[in-house]
Amino acid sequence: MIIVLNFGGQYAHLLPRRVRELGVYSEILPGETPLAKILALKPKGIILSGGPSSVYERGAPKPDPRVFRQGIPILGICYGQQLMAHELGGSVKGSSEKQFGRQKLSVKPAATKLFKGLMRRETVWFSHGDKVEKLPHGFVATASTPTCKIAAMSNDASKLFGVQFHPEVVHTPHGSRILENFVYGICGEKKSWTIGDLAGKYVSELKATIGKGKAIIGVSGGVDSLVAATLLHRAIGDNLYAVFIDHGLLRKDEAMQVLAALKSRGFKNVVFVDASADFLSGLKGVSDPEEKRKIIGHTFIRVFEREAKRLESKEHIRFLAQGTIYPDRIESAQPSKHASKIKSHHNLTLPEKLDFQIVEPLRDLYKDEVRALGHSLGLPKDMLWRHPFPGPGLAIRVLGEVTDERLAILREADAVFIHELRKSGWYDKTWQAFAALLPVKAVGVKGDARTYEYIIALRAVQSVDGMTADWVKLPAKVLESAASRISNEVRGVNRVLYDISQKPPATIEYE
């Protein structure tokens, strides 16, 4: 096992993911995790993540300094390297020459095992303002740039290594080789972990936790809740109650598709709740995206609580299962108090008075890992490879106030876009695609009449885990067909745009 200590860096979540890709299990823990808890996990190596702090700031997050004296190999990345230098007697200072983005690195491959197999000149991704100014005793500089003399450092004898750049991001082309050198060559790990191994483990754990008890889970038809529900169904069978709440913010015909999919998988206790009126009345007049998320989250809790109470009294349910996955927890800033919260709706939990025990079987998995787990459970491809759909639904794709009219327009536009992608074969080549309705109108002409109608933005991105994304270079023919159909078939739209923003700086969703 490789432990990642998280100091709030925007890329910290990618580190355990990259290690798992190498076939080695990895977990992420808060940077200030007590040493005893770290040692209890018996890690073969530790990675210190980046972070937004400066090591000399008051209250800057730091690991237990004794971690450097345990003989466990440690790799510090960006802020992690600065921490290592600072704690071991080196010095760190702010720099007027900050580095962000791609840079050319001069490497001394023979100086350390960490750079084995790399070229003398490598492209890497920097994102820092501070830098190591003076090496700790026993360390040597192993890489540099024109403005950063200590872009990497190592003390091979003590198995301590640091890099100022980010090997975990795709913008560092040979970053995976650096991590591989650390995990295999320095930590001595071996390939011992696959997603397929988890299915039996999770089912056994759920059986042990729930026993002969009963559980309730909210399902949306998305991959996460479907896989979580399938694991639970394997573990406790008909003691699982799947509740589907239609909040009126779903895609075209989605509610009926979800119910049919669950029943076809042998789920007997499926409860359908039409609560669209509750949600839409709560959203009336609200334009702020964060406020919309909170209203949807709290309304969902209220509706779910109402249904859960009914089932609890009737069926004596004691467990609440959730399809929470790792990026949900990351974007809710749970793994580190120093991280910046991106979304709020994942933080919401049911009131304690319901006295449910929470079960989250997918909480440590990324989206593609969830899909791989679903495949090992025998779920069909068309269910597993549906594009991700946000919990707040179309409410965050209708920018500004959510109304019945805007939802109806967006549903039709989105359905046309997805149909065109499927017809052209581009749906399966795309990680996520959807339409969004912008809260502005533009002048247009239809027939001989002047129109003043909404603008639809089309978005299609390629990603692995949803944490970074690039726009898909869809053929002009596909875009033309989708735009033409939307403008002609969807009443209320006279203009269609294609979004070519990357994440970062943009997010995949609009709100």
The whole-number pLDDT of residue 357 equals: 87
Is residue 167 scored above 80 in pLDDT? yes
Question: Which pLDDT belongs to residue 347?
Answer: 43
Q: How many CA atoms lie within 13 A of 66 on its CB side?
A: 7
Q: What is the pLDDT of residue 407?
A: 97
- CA distances to 157, 322, 335 from 71, rounded to whole Å, are 10, 39, 25
Cα separation of the two ends of the chain: 36
Average pLDDT rounded to a whole number, residues 442-462? 90
**Mean predicted confidence (pLDDT) in 272-289:** 94
24 band by pLDDT with thresholds 50, 70 and 90? very high
As given in the structure block, the two tokens for residue 417 are 């876009």
HSE-CB at 270 with a 13 A cutoff on CA atoms is: 23
Average pLDDT estimate for 441-468: 88
Amino acid at 214: K
Percent residues over pLDDT 70 in the chain: 93
What pLDDT, on the 0 to 100 scale, is given for residue 340?
Answer: 46
Per-residue pLDDT at 199:
86
Percentages helix, strand, coil for the chain (3-state, rounded to 5) are: 40, 25, 35
pLDDT given for residue 390 in this prediction: 86
Q: Output the pLDDT for position 344.
A: 45
* pLDDT tens digits for range 209-264: 999 999 999 888 788 888 999 999 999 999 999 999 999 999 999 888 888 888 88
Q: Give CA 472 to chain center in angstroms.
A: 19
Task: Work out the average pLDDT over 203-212.
Answer: 93
The domains located in the chain, with CATH, are: 2-186 (3.40.50.880), 196-384 (3.40.50.620), 403-499 (3.30.300.10)
pLDDT in tens, 303-329: 988 888 888 878 888 898 988 887 676
342 near 507, Cβ under 8 Å?
yes
- Tell me the C-alpha distance between 474 and 421, whole Å: 9
Q: Which of 17-21, 383-387, 436-440 has the highest mean pLDDT?
A: 436-440
Measure the CA–CA gap between 205 and 211, rounded to whole angstroms. Answer: 10
> Which whole number is the average pLDDT over 260-276?
89
pLDDT for 56: 87
DSSP state of 114: G
469-501: pLDDT as tens digits: 899 999 999 999 999 999 999 999 999 999 999
Mean pLDDT score, 74-92: 93
Task: Kindly state the average pLDDT of the residues 6-30.
Answer: 88
Going from the C-alpha of 259 to that of each of 12, 264, 266, the distances in angstroms are 37, 9, 11
Contacts of 289 (CB under 8 A, 6+ apart): 396, 399, 510, 511
Question: Strands (DSSP E) along 229-318, which ranges?
Answer: 240-246, 270-274
Lowest mean pLDDT among 82-86, 310-314, 404-408: 310-314
pTM, rounded to two decimals: 0.66
Q: What is the pLDDT of residue 255?
A: 87
pLDDT at residue 285 in the model: 94
Tokens 């993540």 identify what position? Answer: 49
pLDDT of 330 over the 70 cut: no
More confident residue, 160 or 379: 160
Q: Which two tokens stand for residue 60?
A: 């800057």
Residue 131: count other Cβ atoms within 10 Å of its Cβ: 24
Q: What is the mean pLDDT of residues 12-16?
A: 87
pLDDT value at residue 221: 72
Q: Quick one: pLDDT at residue 97?
A: 56
**pLDDT higher than 90, residue 82:** yes
Is 364:27 a contact under the CB 8 Å cutoff? yes
Looking at the predicted structure, is the pLDDT value of residue 339 above 50? no
Per-residue pLDDT, 385? 84
Q: For position 423, what pLDDT does the model report? A: 97
Q: What is the mean pLDDT of the chain?
A: 88
Q: What is the mean pLDDT of residues 28-41?
A: 93
Q: What are the residue numbers of the active site?
A: 78, 166, 168
- pLDDT for the residue numbered 334: 47
With beta carbons less than 8 A apart as the criterion, state whether 494 and 409 touch.
no
